[in-house]
Amino acid sequence: MKITKITQQQKDRSRYSIYVDERYSFSLSEGALLKSGLASGQELSQEDIKAYKQKSADDKLYNRALKYVAMRPRSVWEIQTYLERKHSPAPLTEQITNKLINLDLLNDEKFARMFVRDRALLRPTSRRKMIAELRKKHVSEEAIEAALLTEQTDEAVVLRELVAKKRQLAKFKHDDLKLMQYLARQGFGYSDIKSALDQYQDD
């Protein structure tokens, strides 16, 4: 069996289709193709084709993982869970995860720091809730603690600013109970919430 054609795919320009005996056989990413050394006119055995088809499937999964981490920062656990949902076998999941770690595209310490910083800038919430959210993503306690140390935000100030912001919304404007319930879901304690509400009314 002979490779008769190698063409760049139209829908995904990063992948190339390999034709054997004039029929489509499998595809590889540009990097995988270069690494394989495949070329038109090359003879392949049935075993070779079977191996390349498996490599093609693994290669597609790796590229999906690349796109997944490119969308936004992910924890190691998130990418592992994503690959499991795609029915990736455990050895391949470990291989892809390690490759992304080695490329510094996965790093739980960096992820935790970015998570805490983004929450502080875009969606202010309590320290307690940030810890809970990072734990849900299976980030280590050490990484969480280090990240929180880099963002020394005064939680009382965050709470007062949230109260002032939410009071502008119709559903919270005159409903203390609903606002308190919302703030409690953000991880703030009752006494701190009551104090912030009292202070807002005094102002």
22-31, 64-73, 145-154: which has the minimum mean pLDDT? 145-154
pLDDT at position 167 is 80
DSSP secondary structure, 110-133, as one string: HHHHHHHHHHHHHS---HHHHHHH
CB 62 within 8 A of CB 31: no
pLDDT at position 202 is 53
Looking at 3.10.450.40, 3.40.190.10, 1.10.10.10, 3.20.20.80, the CATH number of the domain 3-102 comes to 1.10.10.10
Q: Residue ranges of the domains in the chain?
A: 3-102, 107-153, 154-203
Asked whether the whole model's pTM tops 0.75, one would answer: no
Torsion-angle region of residue 4: left (phi > 0), alpha (psi -120 to 50) or beta? alpha
Amino acid at 76: V
CB 51 within 8 A of CB 83: no
Give the whole-angstrom CA distance, residue 90 versus residue 98.
Answer: 12
Residue 81 burial by Cβ neighbours in a 10 Å radius (0-12, 13-18, 19+): middle
The encoded tokens of residue 104 equal 């510094």
Q: What is the overall mean pLDDT for the chain? A: 87
Q: Is 12 helix (H, G, I), strand (E, B) or coil?
A: coil
* Structural fold of domain 107-153: Arc Repressor Mutant, subunit A (1.10.10)
CB 21 within 8 A of CB 4: yes
Looking at per-residue pLDDT, the higher value among 165 and 27 belongs to: 27
Is 81's pLDDT higher than 90?
A: yes
**One fold for 3-102 and 107-153:** yes
Condensed to tens digits (0 to 9), the pLDDT of residues 178-192 reads: 888 888 887 787 877
pLDDT at position 203 is 56
pLDDT at position 98 is 95
Give the whole-angstrom CA distance, residue 43 versus residue 120.
Answer: 59
Condensed to tens digits (0 to 9), the pLDDT of residues 91-116 reads: 999 999 999 999 999 999 999 999 98
Average pLDDT over residues 9-37: 89
> Strands, E, within the chain: which ranges?
3-8, 15-20, 23-29
**Which residues are registered as beta bridge partners of 15?**
29
Average pLDDT over residues 56-68: 91
Condensed to tens digits (0 to 9), the pLDDT of residues 132-153 reads: 999 999 999 999 999 988 776 7
Count helices and strands in the chain by DSSP H and E runs: 11, 3
**Which residues are registered as beta bridge partners of 12?**
none
Q: How far is CA 127 from CA 3, 45, 74, 139, 152, in A?
A: 59, 60, 20, 15, 10
